[in-house]
Structure 1
Amino acid sequence: MKQVIVIPSRLSSTRLREKPLQLIKGKPLIRWVVEGCVKTGKEVVLATDSERIAKVVQDLPIRIVFTPSELPSGSDRVAYAIKDIEADYVINYQGDEPFVYKDDVESLLSALDEYPVATLAIHDPDSYTSPSCVKVVLDENQRALYFSRSPIPYMKGNSSIYPLKHVGIYAFRREVLMDFVNWKPSTLERLESLEQLRLLEKGVDIKVLLSSNYYHGVDTEEDLKLVEEKITFYL
């Protein structure tokens, strides 16, 4: 099976200006992501609408595909980027996730032998009440039952598993990704502003792998400061 990691990254962002170019330890955020993905040994594609983003990673052994700025989501950018690329399994590695672990990438790709879509989650009690952190609940086979910005499940007692914070990294079988971006946004997706709910509403299984690695995406200035502190231990 041909495997590829696609990193969608656009210059415009709502909460943090020119987010991909923000510096962490003197290095642009997008370069942290791309370098980490390259180290996994997989083929890496950057899907971007910006020459400025491309310029900061153009010396790395990757393919750069320029995508239209008007595409509505990262998944749409990934699908656009692989139109002319041979790939059976595709990882959508968000351009604001600076932590990359080869073991998790391999596990996601292996999960596609059995499931159409796979993603990651981590045990994170601090995320439970924050609407900016997406939570997920699972069935007994670790398939996603639901994702929400609300605190789920209701925690009447302590749990060794929950709450689970969703990590926005997805592995798709190619044909599922292409179907996904052609479906109209679903009811729950629009209400929660979470595109993965489109898959669940269509009855697509999403395998959720539990990781013990540290993840923290960058959306705000506070995230930048936290990641800069934590990334020293990641190096």
Structure 2
Amino acid sequence: MRRVIVVPARIGSTRLKEKPLRRILGKPLIRWVIQNLKKTGERVILATDSERVKEAVEDLCEVVLTPSDLPSGSDRVLHVVRDYEAELVINYQGDEPFAYREDIQRIFNSLEKGEEVVTLAVRDKEAYTRPEDVKVVLDKRGYALYFSRSPIPYFRKEDSFYPLKHVGIYGFRRETLLRFGSMERGRLEEIEGLEQLRLLEEGVRIKVLITDNYYHGVDTEEDIKIVEEKLKGYVGKER
């Protein structure tokens, strides 16, 4: 099956100005993302509305310029996928500098086995009270019941499995991604500001794979400091 990783990167971030171009250990954030994804051996395409972001990585991967008025990263991915013959697509967030070959393979393998949507989660107690980090709870078969920035589940007693921090990386079968693009925004999505809730409200199952690898997206100045420290130990490792 033909497959591709599409990285949406919008220059007009509201929380962190010009986020894709913020310097981390001397390089733009988006360059870290693309460089580490290229190590997975998969085809990578950047979808951006900015010539400056394009210039930061055009020596590394294909770049598609997208309209500035697209409302979300998923819409940028859709803009690319409609013109490419890819059956399996990973939407890899442009603010997630860590990438691991084994996790990418697990996502694609799950899609090949018939899952419609696949994402990742990590066990992370520190994320529990951080509204910047999305939490997820699962059913017994590993499918998402709900995602929230609020602390879920509520702990009447301690548990060794939860809390789970959602990692905003999504694998889609092509037909599901196109269907997602035609769905109206749901009530819960409007309330929480989380696109994946649109799928749950429409009855689409999201398979959640637990990983032990380290992930940390960049949304704040503090995140930049955290990521810089982690990347110092990440550089040079084979993935």
Deviations 1:61-115 (A, max 9, x none): x211110111111111000011111100000000000000010000011111231
Query: What secondary structure is seen at the aligned counterpart in 2 of 1:128?
Result: helix
Query: What secondary structure is seen at the aligned counterpart in 2 of 1:56?
Result: helix
> Could you tell me which amino acid in structure 2 is paired with residue 45 of structure 1?
I
- Residue correspondence of structure 1 range 100-179 to structure 2 within 5 A: 100-112=99-111, 113-179=113-179
Which whole-Å CA distance do the structure 2 matches of 1:127 and 1:44 have between them? 29
Q: Would the aligned equivalents of 2:122 and 2:166 in 1 still touch at CA under 8 Å?
A: yes
Q: Which moved more, 1:146-155 or 1:88-97?
A: 146-155
Q: Would the aligned equivalents of 2:132 and 2:219 in 1 still touch at CA under 8 Å?
A: no
- Residue correspondence of structure 1 range 1-235 to structure 2 within 5 A: 1-60=1-60, 62-112=61-111, 113-235=113-235
Which whole-Å CA distance do the structure 1 matches of 2:147 and 2:176 have between them? 19
Q: TM-score, normalised by structure 2?
A: 0.96
Deviations 1:15-68 (A, max 9, x none): 1110000011101000000111111111111000000001011111x2111101
> Could you tell me which amino acid in structure 1 is paired with residue 105 of structure 2?
E
Which whole-Å CA distance do the structure 1 matches of 2:177 and 2:31 have between them? 25
Deviations 1:131-171 (A, max 9, x none): 21110000111000000111111111221110000000000
Which whole-Å CA distance do the structure 1 matches of 2:115 and 2:138 have between them? 15
**Offset at residue 232 of structure 1 (A):** 1.1
Identity %: 60
> Could you tell me which amino acid in structure 2 is paired with residue 64 of structure 1?
V
> Could you tell me which amino acid in structure 2 is paired with residue 155 of structure 1?
F
Which whole-Å CA distance do the structure 1 matches of 2:107 and 2:208 have between them? 9
Deviations 1:150-202 (A, max 9, x none): 11111112211100000000000011011101111001000111000000011
Q: How many residue pairs get matched?
A: 234
Which whole-Å CA distance do the structure 1 matches of 2:68 and 2:159 have between them? 42
Show structure 1 runs of 5+ residues with no match.
Answer: none
Which whole-Å CA distance do the structure 2 matches of 1:212 and 1:156 have between them? 25
Which whole-Å CA distance do the structure 2 matches of 1:197 and 1:223 have between them? 25
Q: Would the aligned equivalents of 2:186 and 2:198 in 1 still touch at CA under 8 Å?
A: yes
Which whole-Å CA distance do the structure 1 matches of 2:58 and 2:180 have between them? 30
Which whole-Å CA distance do the structure 2 matches of 1:24 and 1:157 have between them? 39
> Could you tell me which amino acid in structure 2 is paired with residue 30 of structure 1?
I
Which whole-Å CA distance do the structure 2 matches of 1:199 and 1:172 have between them? 11
Show structure 2 runs of 5+ residues with no match.
Answer: none
Q: TM-score, normalised by structure 1?
A: 0.98
> Could you tell me which amino acid in structure 1 is paired with residue 212 of structure 2?
S
Which whole-Å CA distance do the structure 1 matches of 2:203 and 2:131 have between them? 25
Which whole-Å CA distance do the structure 2 matches of 1:181 and 1:102 have between them? 27
Once superposed, which parts of structure 1, at least 4 consecutive aligned residues long, lie more than 6 Å away? Answer: none
